[in-house]
Copies of this chain bind each other. A is one copy, B any other.
Amino acid sequence: MTMPSSPLKSWPEIQAAGFSLENCPVRDVLGHVGDKWSTLILGALGKRAHRFGELRRALPDISQRMLTQTLRDLRRTGLVAREVFPTVPPGVEYSLTPLGRSMIAPLAALTAWAESNHAAIRAARADFDRAEEEARAA
């Protein structure tokens, strides 16, 4: 997702206008949720702690740049913990913090919703695209 570096000024008005959108943290969280990789990483770490390389293998399509960066972001938000083992070769283990674990439930609720409604969503998409196609033909 695209999070603006400069804070939006008018969110107070926005949230007043409609929803439970706090100043920033909500956006931060939703940013992670919408992020292509964050949820995948959170999911993997939800199962068990992973080493860096394990995560790479678990998420075949992620570049190490994105993995590093996303992990950094998740750590910064307090969702993921990093532990370094001063062995040779060095090992680094990532795991969910208590905060991160507490997020799994609501996140899972959303993905569960998505899964149980994915038929409807696919149908809606198909309908929409078909209707659009017809419109273009006319």
Using a CB–CB cutoff of 8 Å, the interface residues on chain A facing chain B are: 1-4, 8-11, 13-14, 17-22, 24-36, 39-40, 42-47, 58-61, 75-78, 99, 102-103, 105-115, 117-118, 120-125, 127-129
Chain copies in the assembled complex: 2
Nearest 6 CB-CB pairs, A to B?
A: A34-B34, A19-B43, A78-B124, A1-B1, A25-B118, A18-B44
Whether B115 contacts A110 by the Cβ 8 Å rule is no
Question: What is the CB-to-nearest-CB distance from A111 to chain B, in angstroms, rounded to a whole number?
Answer: 5
A13-B46 contact, Cβ under 8 Å, with A125-B77, A125-B78: no
Q: Which residues of B contact A129 (CB under 8 A)?
A: 76
Q: Which residues of B contact A120 (CB under 8 A)?
A: 78, 99
Whether A19 contacts B60 by the Cβ 8 Å rule is no
Contact of A115 among B20, B45, B124 (CB under 8 A): B20
Q: Which residues of B contact A127 (CB under 8 A)?
A: 78
What residue in chain B is nearest A50 (Cβ atoms)?
A: B18
What residue in chain B is nearest A109 (Cβ atoms)?
A: B106
